[in-house]
Structure 1
Amino acid sequence: MQIMKVDPRALKENPDRMRQTKSSPQADALMLATIKAVGIVQPPVVAPQTDGGNGYIIDAGHRRVRLAIAAGLDEIEILVADAANDNGAMRSMVENSVREPLTPVDQWRGIERLVALGWTEEAIAVALALPVRQIRELRLLANVLPAMLEQMALGDMPSEQQLRIIAAAAQVDQKEVWKAHKPKKGDTAPWWQIANALTKKRMYARDASFGDDLAQAYGIEWVEDLFAPADQDGRYTTNVEGFLGAQHEWMTSNLPKRGAIVEVNSWGQPELPKKASQVYGKPSKSDHTALYLDRDGKVQTVHYRMPEVAKPKGAADDGSSAGSNSNAVAPPKIRPDVTQKGHDMIGDFRTDALHDALGRAPIEDDMLMALMVLAFAGQNVRVDSGADGTFYGGKRFSRHAVRLFDEHGKLAFDQDTLRVAVRSVLIDVLSCRRGMSNSGMVSRIAGEAIGADEYLPNMGSEEFLLCLSRQALEASCGEASVQPRSKVRETRAALVEHFANEHFVHPAGRFAPPADELLDWIRAGAATDVIGSGGHEDDDGHGEDLGEQQEVHAGEKRDHDDPQDVDVGSEGEHDQDFDQRAAA
């Protein structure tokens, strides 16, 4: 380097200088007073122009040159350095970093300039003595709204986690949130509120039990978390609905023997069946397994034990009553083929199979449209969804409708996008679950139309077979070529063993509705169409007989109100609640 004197007005500013954030008026006033009193203590560093000119470009000292001109100095000393092949980018950044720390925004601009010149993140980190993680964090600023960058350039920076959330959001979302939370002049920004408004829940690949096939089927795209530990799978998705759907399908396909999928309560704990006690030690062969999704969407497993069914007083092993009057004629007790709990389970089986079929089975476009009409003719169009709780149309369905619009708000979509949207709406609407979310006849018609029977799980489990009467069990034995036993529990055990390696679906669980009920539903719908808005009729046109509906709801109320309503088919072969009604 050589020292020489020049007119500060002849020096040219470097367009690639690192420090672009303006200094405060107080700092400028202090330096100006110092220059007027003692001159420039440390000469600015300049380099010859590389574009063919004869002048000099400032590498370091733009502020000193500017204030020397303001002080009216005709000449100042400068240090002339050799021209750098990166136009002094690294030299300027190092000099500014040592003199006074650059703001994170200026650091980011310098890093991007160096990257554009061919520097790697690792090389920049070594040259600046900074961790590579910090270099990558600063590069997140490239995804930040310019208006937010201006606030950050003032030294008002969010935390690393807040910056990651902001940078991961779309610019249009950042603009909307910044408009709502923009601070007044001189105030700091409420970054925690901004980050909270832009937060999207992340579901991590390391918590997924499903494989790539289900990920693709549910439209899950993994994004790499650059800040995850090196030894940890940092991939994640914000498609929470798709992740949970894939997890649920995996659980359905991988249920163990005596297994069931359960919901969780508001504390995130599994809701086990009534009277069940959780097993905290090593489970026995007779214990049950419950699968559920925790708050992170991870599949969890617990084991539970059901209490042994008490024998009626005086009952012998063969089902007869010891010491009873042999001359007394007991009234016949006829148990229904399937109990209320059995119908509840069938409703869940049908719904899950229907949703699987709607998501994966080949369905023609015209059939999809017909199913859509059927879905909104269901009993549950409030909508009480069998897939995700209760909601009221509009806002819920808008998440599917927005897929059909382009960035300019125009209705524009391809056939694949339309199919995904229609399938999603059908999954939200159609349900066979018992209670408020039951779509009634239409869900069974839809399930039969798309072959959802093929997606029904194996009903040859101990839990479901406990819901069948003796005559229903013996009928199942005939279909499976299993010899009925003298005791019901032995017959059931034989069926459980037989169906362990075969797929069993009880006839009552299939989707095809009885022909007479279907015709009644069609006639009721036709009558409603004829009567129109000016007429009146007692039947509301929903798919099932009113008496049957009342019986179902009465049964549900009884299930909730009477804690003794349990199935005792292993010995007594009759539900206690049914026995009580029969005796009455």
Structure 2
Amino acid sequence: MRHMKIDPRALKDNPDNTRQTKSSPQGDALLLATIKAVGIIQPPVVFAEPDGGNGYIIEAGHRRRRLAVAAGLEEIDVLVVDAADDNGAMRSMVENIAREPLNPIDQWRGIERLVALGWTEEAIAVALTLPVRQIRKLRLLANVLPAMLDHMAKGDMPSEPQLRTIAAASLDEQKEVWKAHKPKKGDTASWWSVANALTKKRMYAKDASFGDDLAQAYGIEWVEDLFAPADEDSRYTTNVEAYLGAQQEWMTSNLPKKGAIVEVNNWGQPELPKKAERVYGKPGKGDSTALYLDREGKVQTAHFRLPEAKKTKSSAADDVGNGSDDGIIAKPRADVTQKGQDMIGDFRTDALHEALGRAPIEDDMLMALLVIGFAGLNVRVDSGTAGSILGSKRLTRHAVHLFDQDGRLAADMDSLRVAARSVLIEVFSCRRNMSNSGIVSRIAGSAIGADTFLPNMGTEDFLACLSRTALEASCEGTSIVPRPKVRETRAALVEQFRQERFVHPSALFAPVDTELADWIKRGEVIEGDDADAAESVEADPHYLGPTEDSGAADPTELADAEATENSEGEDTAFGIAAE
């Protein structure tokens, strides 16, 4: 093997070259830039033409020779070797397959050696045809614990976000975390666990309302996130307390005349003053402004309107005498009208019945539903020991399928399941009338997933039943911004919900925790008292459910109705009556 200089244009391509696929334009551009910057680092390998030719054939380095010509080089260094019997085919194959790019650790170490020799990051980037940002990313490895670097050098590298988190931590913190998460010999590291243990909350400069003066006053030092897109301000700090303090001081200094700094609730919404009404449209002259910090530490603004102060009796009398009605305070409208509540009752009932007919229900759940179904406000069972055995035609028609030809109760499980579902459909009701089962129907619906059977309530009929506050709350989670006029907001929501299903939160089956606790408590009282006390509680039409419009009938009227039903010759094998 010997060195020589030769005009790259005089070299001939090897017809047996292993790499026949053309390189990408981007790869050629990078190599061309490198050749122009530092020349050809690794000379091509050539051999003399066979049969007494005077030229040289390339064995390895076709692309380097081609781009050297493109770079305008007059001469390049080459290595001349003896021609192989296979025209260099095997050596070309080995050379292409065995070549492996440097791993990031070796790249970083090489970059650090160049920096120590006086190379700048920009010059290294030009020579290696890499972005300066990539050079700086690799140099982050200088902040990584040596023990972690040794493991990474084996080929087990973290992802870029994980590396960023690790490099941002102190060496002492890295040492403690690596001690806890260091993998066993031959295993890969759980970089997610390592990065998660070193993760710190980041507060970004782009979200800060304060300027450099407050940043310096609070000792905030911005750190650039080298892994973020290059065209955005990626500076951040992990000094959360100082960041929030600077934001708080900025709000205090920039508070409007009619403004207030408020906290946020558990849902990240501002806690406005008591009785304040939030203004989503353009604020008026008399409206106030609230500043608050959201969960990301950003300063947010909310406008609100306070109700007019109630006038004293004397001033109200004066107004009456003067023909003024300014002292009249309009009663706030309920979120959902009575018609809307009726619609919700119908929606719930239909969905519950559909769920009872179609949803998967385990046998133990089915038995539990039957038990609580008999506790519904619309169901009354007369005890057989009291000498009164009353039944219901509608319930009896399902029960007769559980008997065999000899009149014995011998139902198979399939027949029992069908009958049980049918009875529950007859018994459970959420309608706001005599048939209301109360809280038990909502418990049942929540247990079997009846919410998924509720219809789309984003219609003009139902949305017209909502107050402005409830209507604007329905805009959350959508792209709809509340309009100044209620009908415009409603029309936008109707259009929005043509493509997706909307269910008002108040229509969901799950009862309020306090209602459920009260119902359970009442049941415990009934169980613990004597029979007389139990009867007195049961006489209360609301004892097993919410107090809204239960419409339970007088027990005497029920008894009269049941007596009439029995007089018509009904089979009274089951002591259940459902209104």
The TM-score, its normalising length taken from structure 1, stands at: 0.37
Larger radius of gyration: 2
The TM-score, its normalising length taken from structure 2, stands at: 0.38
Higher relative contact order (CA 8 A, sep 6+): 2
